[in-house]
Amino acid sequence: MDEEDKRRNEIVFFVKDAMPDSWRSCASELHRSAELLWNDKDNELRLEAAEFHEIKDGKLINRSQSRMVYSVSRSYFLLAGFALENLIKGYLVACDPTLINHGVLGKEIKTHELSRLARKIEDFKISKNELDFCCIAEKAIPYWGRYPVPLISSQVAPEVGLTDELRQGFLSFYDRLDEKLYMKIRNGWDSGVGAKLEKLTAKKYDSRNG
């Protein structure tokens, strides 16, 4: 096999794994994992308490903070945020195969900024609650959903506690976009470089869309 054939095969294998339904499959698994956490939380809360010194106007001031949040809060934001990221990117790839068919992700989707990605979805109005979730999750993904601190002190930001209202924003966004993506690719999809999706079936969507 010469180098050109090898390069073309690498691109086809990449595109095969980067087709819209692959993104949708990853999103579904992450969505289920997030909901398993939520359903197993048993209303368990964790106490976050800290005492620290703050300098203000040259004076040392004692501070204290405390709050109660769901014990699965950070993990839920991380998993749900990744679920939405996969679903959005899957839809954008479905609309524009050139985002993957050169064997590299297009720069437009090389980001965790869910709010910016979401605005690229055609004919899709996002509610305030859905956008709020995106704006919080996009901060959780690279930082406090995974680590106690960011890379540098100037990036320190408060963790946001999960609420049922925020969760509903995620579920609403996910369900609407999952159906939109499915309808986009259910009759098949062609990458243009030798990898294709065949016709899909999903009873919950097919039954109401004919």
- Contact yes or no for 42/77 (Cβ under 8 A): no
pLDDT digits (tens, 9 = 90+) for 178-210: 999 999 999 999 999 888 899 998 888 888 776
* Residue with tokens 């992700």, as numbered in its chain: 105
How far is it, in rounded angstroms, from Cα 92 to Cα 189? 13
Residues 6+ apart with CB under 8 A from 97: 190, 191, 192, 193
Look up residue 148 and give its two tokens.
């106690």
Task: Say if residue 77's pLDDT is above 90.
Answer: yes
What average pLDDT does the chain have? 89
Please report the domains of the chain, with CATH numbers, ordered by start residue: 3-209 (1.20.120.330)
Look up residue 145 and give its two tokens.
């959903």
Residue among 158, 141, 121 nearest 76 (CA): 141
